[in-house]
């Protein structure tokens, strides 16, 4: 497999001869004011440009949307993606929303497993922070109920687990125990809402995942792109060195690829 970090949580996954696009967020630099009720209200989003042309990024076989927050699926992505491309949403409700944008081939991930040709896709659960305080840009829902991850499985590949927008929780432990992934992608920029609640993983969460899956290679994503992110790559790398696990946790720059 080959993983390319695009920007924020957007990834290109080349797996078993297929190419998947994860959580496309294509807005131009500084397109949005700070996402409300979140950290760093003096920053715009996204704060960096895409490292690759959109025309290159969308040359894929299928798209996976772990959830429909703005920084995972935006108007620019809706406009750029071919309307006949296969899309997997996290549930049927979000699949219907995606269909309303004119996409013709939209399915949803399932805990028991879906398939794209010979690649098995298994939905996993996550917790987008702790607590049940509604936040408008979280669609006025409990943060813990609106995100998912996905496990990729194929006889000729290592098992890949993309955890999605979750903090460390029993859901992540369960996915590791159930699927024994060799490669795990973590959204690790420690995005926070304005009262200090972390809604994706920070450095301590990354360390907990390593402890739960010490033989796996971890790859970090969702860093240094949106206003509510609080963990820079440099700080995370320093932490990994202190813990002696730099060889087990990759912190790619935007546009960087790794092959496993």
Per-residue pLDDT of the chain (260 residues; tens, 9 = 90+): 999 999 999 999 999 999 999 999 999 999 999 887 788 889 999 999 999 999 999 999 999 999 999 999 999 999 999 999 999 999 999 999 999 999 999 999 999 999 999 999 999 999 886 554 444 444 444 444 578 999 999 999 999 999 999 999 999 999 999 999 999 999 999 999 877 889 999 999 999 999 999 999 999 999 999 999 999 999 999 999 999 999 999 999 999 999 99
Chain Cα centroid distance, residue 193: 18
Q: What's the CATH code, domain 2-253?
A: 3.60.15.10
Q: Is the dihedral of CA 249, 247, 63, 233 positive or negative?
A: positive
Nearest-CA neighbor of 99 among 110, 109, 114, 86?
A: 86
CB 190 within 8 A of CB 228: no
Under 8 Å between Cβ of 154 and 166: no
d(CA 34, CA 25): 15
Helix (H, G, I), strand (E, B) or coil at 117: coil
CB 25 within 8 A of CB 35: no
């Amino acid at each position: 497999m080959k993983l390319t970090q695009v920007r924020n949580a957007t990834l290109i996954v080349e797996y078993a001869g297929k190419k998947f696009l994860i959580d496309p967020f294509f807005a131009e630099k500084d397109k949005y004011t700070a996402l409300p009720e979140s950290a760093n209200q003096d920053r715009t989003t996204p704060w960096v440009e895409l490292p690759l042309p959109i025309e290159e990024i969308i040359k894929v076989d299928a798209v996976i949307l772990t959830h429909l927050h703005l920084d995972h699926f935006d108007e620019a992505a809706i406009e750029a993606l071919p309307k006949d491309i296969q899309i997997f949403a996290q549930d049927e409700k979000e699949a219907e929303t995606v269909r309303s944008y004119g996409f013709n081939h939209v399915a949803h991930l399932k805990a028991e497993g879906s398939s794209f040709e010979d690649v098995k896709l298994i939905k996993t659960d996550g917790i987008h922070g702790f607590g049940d305080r509604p936040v408008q840009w979280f669609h006025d829902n409990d943060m813990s109920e609106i995100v998912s991850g996905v496990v990729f499985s194929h006889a000729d590949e290592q098992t890949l687990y993309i955890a999605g927008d979750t903090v460390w929780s029993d859901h992540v432990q369960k996915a590791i125990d159930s699927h024994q992934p060799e490669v795990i992608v973590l959204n690790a920029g420690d995005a926070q809402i304005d009262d200090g609640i972390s809604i994706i993983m920070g450095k301590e969460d990354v360390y907990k995942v390593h402890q739960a899956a010490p033989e796996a290679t971890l790859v970090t994503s969702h860093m240094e792109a949106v206003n509510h992110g609080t963990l820079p790559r440099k700080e995370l790398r320093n932490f990994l060195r202190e813990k002696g696990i730099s060889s087990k946790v990759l912190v790619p720059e935007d546009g960087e690829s790794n092959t496993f």
